[in-house]
């Protein structure tokens, strides 16, 4: 029996050139690394993100692909991409999941645990 599994790691950094504090616009770049740690070839089909600012305002993002790609990963292969998000406070969080399908048309989800959107220099 196949055991599909994508493992995801995240790196975040503030985007100073896209941040305008006087307009409550704070931008963050994030880089996602997806590694197929399963034992079957699988493809990332779509994503769902929940982005929450410090006031509790939630933005939901759904769609096919990630930055225009639906990578097909053999066991052991990795795919990395970068994107960005903008929130109305200096700190917030993101979490989500990827919709994936194996080469045998078995659907599974790869969860991305909550991570912090913040400028580490602004944290006390």
Fill in the DSSP letter of residue 122. Answer: G
Please write the tens of the pLDDT for every residue from 76-108.
999 999 999 999 999 999 999 999 999 999 999
| pLDDT tens sequence across 43-64 | 999 999 999 999 999 999 999 9
Domain 6-122 class in CATH: mainly beta
User: pTM for this structure?
Assistant: 0.91
Helix (H, G, I), strand (E, B) or coil at 111: strand
Domain assignments of the chain as residue spans, ordered by start: 6-122
76 contacts 40 by C-beta, under 8 angstroms: no
* Residues 108 and 39: beta-carbon distance below 8 Å: no
């Amino acid at each position: 029996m196949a055991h599909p599994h994508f493992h995801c790691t995240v790196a975040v950094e503030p985007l100073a050139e896209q941040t305008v504090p006087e307009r409550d616009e704070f931008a963050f770049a994030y880089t996602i690394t997806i590694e197929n740690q399963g034992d079957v070839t699988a493809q990332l089909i779509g994503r769902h993100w929940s982005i929450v600012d410090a006031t509790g305002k939630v933005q939901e993002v759904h769609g096919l692909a990630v930055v225009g790609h639906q990578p097909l990963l053999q066991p052991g292969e990795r795919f990395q991409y970068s994107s960005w998000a903008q929130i109305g406070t200096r700190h917030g969080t993101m979490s989500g999941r990827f919709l994936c399908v194996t080469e045998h048309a078995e659907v599974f989800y790869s969860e991305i645990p909550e991570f912090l959107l913040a400028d580490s220099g602004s944290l006390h």
